[in-house]
Structure 1
Amino acid sequence: MHSKTIHFQTYSSIRIGPKVDVYIVEDTKDVKDFSIIGGANNLLVGPNPPKLMMLSKKYDYIYIKENKLHIGGATPSGKIASFCKKNNIANFEFLSHLPGKLGGLVFMNAGLKEYEIANHLIDVTLQSGKKQKNEINFQYRKTDINEMIFEATFSLQYGYDQNKVKMFHAMRKNQPSIPSAGSCFKNPPNDYAGRLIEAVGLKGEKVGDMAFSTQHANFLVNYGNGTFEDAIFLIQEAKKRVKEHFNIDLECEIQILEKGLQL
C-alpha cells in the first residue's frame, strides 16, 4: 500500500489542478472508497478534490490467449492501438485517435461515432469479480460500472484497417491541439453539444486563459494559465444558456473532481 504525488497541472490533459497524493492500487483487496482516476484525459481536478486512487502499472499489459484479447485496466490507448496494428488485429483502429487508459475507456464507453469500446467486449474484471458484457448497461458515453476496472477481454478478429485509421484521423481534424479535456459535454439526443454552444454565442468565449475552442465549440481549452474556477464558470454558463434557449440540459462528459461541487 503506497501513494504517489501527482501534479495535475502537468499530468492532466487540460493542464489544471493541484499536487495530490494518489493511492496506488496493486490488488483488488487494496481498493478504497476513493474516486478513481486513470490517464486524466477527460478530467478536471479542483483545488479540493476527494481522495483519489489509481491502478498500478502492473495492470499495463496486453496479450492474446485462447483467441481473446486481454487488456489491463492501466493500459494506454496508444499501446493498444500499436499492439493491434503490429498483430493485424481489427476493431481497435479508433483508439489511435482517442487518448485514455483502458479502465477509463470502458467506464465511459469511449468511442468515435458508432465505433465504441463496448462493441467487441466480452467481459470485465472488477473488484467484485468478473462481469459479462450483458450484465453491464452500456449507453452513449456512459455505463453503470461504479468500481475499478482491472482487466477487460475482447473478441479477437484479424484484419487491421489502415483506411479506418485515416477516417478517424479526418474525424479528429477539427479538434484543437492545445490542452483540453476532450469533449466538454455529451451530445444530447439528435443534436450536437458543439452546435448548441455555438448557437448561444459561446464558441471562442474566453474567461482568463480558458475558452470554448474556436475550432470546435464543445472543447474547453486552456491557453496557458487557465484555472479551475474559470473552467467551471464557462461550463455553468454554457449549461445555463443552452437550457434558457433550447430547454436542453447539457450533461458533462468531463469528469469533475471537487468536494461539494454539483453541476
Structure 2
Amino acid sequence: MPYKSIDLSKLSSIRIGPVADVYMIEGDDYPDGAYLIGGANNVLFGTDLPPLMKLSKTYDFIRIVDGVLHIGAATPGGKIVSFCKKHDIAHFEFLSHLPGTLGGMLKMNAGLKEYEIFNRLIALRTKSGWHAKAKVPHGYRTTGIDEVVFEATFEIEPGFDPSKIELFKQMRANQPTDPSAGSAFKNPPGDYAGRLIESVGLKGYRIGDMAFSTMHANFLVNLGRGTFEEAVALLELAQQRVQEATGILLEREVIVIDRRWL
C-alpha cells in the first residue's frame, strides 16, 4: 500500500502534529473513512488521529487545453500564480498570498475579500465524475464538496496584473508571521471575529506557547513549542467568552483533525 510516514508538525503551517503514516493517492481510488489532508495550512492536528490520506504529485499539474485552464488539486497556489503570470492570465493574482494547494482552496472556497477561488471555476472532478460549478453548493469560505477533488477547470481571461499582488500583500500586512493555521474563526454576518475576540480581552492572550496574535486577534499562533491541547483550550475559551458577551457562537475556520473533535 502506498503509505508515507509524514511529520505533521513540519507539514502543518501551525507546526503542531505527530508523525503519522499517510495514504498517498496515486490513482482515483482511496480508502473509505480516511481524512484528506493537503498543504495543511488551515489544519490543527490532534493526538488521536483518524486514518489520513494525501494527494501525490500525480495531481500537481497546470496546463491550458482548448482555451481552458486545467489545474491538479495538489498544485500549490504559488505555482498557479507563476503560470498565470507567464501566460498573461488574469484573476489569479490573489493566490500569491494564499498558502496551500488548489484542493484545499476549493474545499473551503478560499479567498481574500471578494476574490474567491470559485469565481473563475468551470467544473471540478471527483471520483464520481465532473461537476459543474453551478452544481456545487458554495458560499463564503464554505462548499458542499464531500469527495476528494482531483482537478478543476477555470475560465481564462487575459490581463495578469502585477500591481494586484502588491495590493493583496498590503491586505495581508496586518497578519502575523508566526506559525499559524490562518484565521481561527469565520467572520459572523455583519461583524469580524478578530474584533469580537479582542472585545472580550483575548488579543495577545496566551496559554503555554499558543496565543491569539497581538497583531490580529483572529490568528492563533505558535510561539515556540505550542501543543494541540493549548490550541484547543484557546479556541474553546474564545467561543465561550464571545458567546457569553454577545450571544454569537464563533464558527471555527481552522479544521481540527482529531477523533474527539471530528
TM over 0.5: yes
Q: Distance in 1 between matches of 2:209 and 2:35?
A: 28
Q: Distance in 2 between matches of 1:145 and 1:226?
A: 31
CA contact (8 A) 2:48 2:260 kept: no
Aligned residue in 2 for 1:9: 9
Determine helix, strand or coil for the equivalent of 2:166.
helix
Q: Distance in 2 between matches of 1:247 and 1:163?
A: 41
Report the more deviating stretch, 193-202 or 80-89. 80-89
TM-score norm. by structure 2 comes to 0.98
Corresponding residue pairs, total: 262
After superposition, residues 100-111 of structure 1 pair within 5 angstroms as 100-111=100-111
Aligned residue in 2 for 1:169: 169
Aligned residue in 1 for 2:214: 214
CA contact (8 A) 2:24 2:54 kept: yes
Q: Distance in 2 between matches of 1:30 and 1:181?
A: 26
CA contact (8 A) 1:210 1:231 kept: yes
TM-score norm. by structure 1 comes to 0.98
Report the more deviating stretch, 119-128 or 23-32. 23-32
Q: Distance in 2 between matches of 1:124 and 1:31?
A: 20
Unmatched 5+ stretches in structure 1: none
Aligned residue in 2 for 1:138: 138
Aligned residue in 2 for 1:63: 63
After TM superposition, give the deviation of residue 30 of structure 1 in Å: 3.1
Aligned residue in 1 for 2:123: 123
CA contact (8 A) 1:25 1:31 kept: no
After TM superposition, give the deviation of residue 166 of structure 1 in Å: 1.1
Cα deviation per residue 1:61-81 (whole Å; 9 max; x = unaligned)? Answer: 000111110000100011111
The answer to whether residue 93 in structure 2 is matched with residue 93 in structure 1 is yes
Unmatched 5+ stretches in structure 2: none
Over the matched positions of the two proteins, sequence identity in percent amounts to 56
After superposition, residues 142-161 of structure 1 pair within 5 angstroms as 142-161=142-161
- 2:116 alignment partner AA: E
Q: Distance in 2 between matches of 1:114 and 1:65?
A: 28
Aligned residue in 2 for 1:201: 201
Determine helix, strand or coil for the equivalent of 1:230.
helix
After superposition, residues 5-44 of structure 1 pair within 5 angstroms as 5-44=5-44
Determine helix, strand or coil for the equivalent of 1:30.
coil
Determine helix, strand or coil for the equivalent of 2:139.
coil
Cα deviation per residue 1:152-210 (whole Å; 9 max; x = unaligned)? Answer: 10000110011211110000000001100001001111110000000010000000000
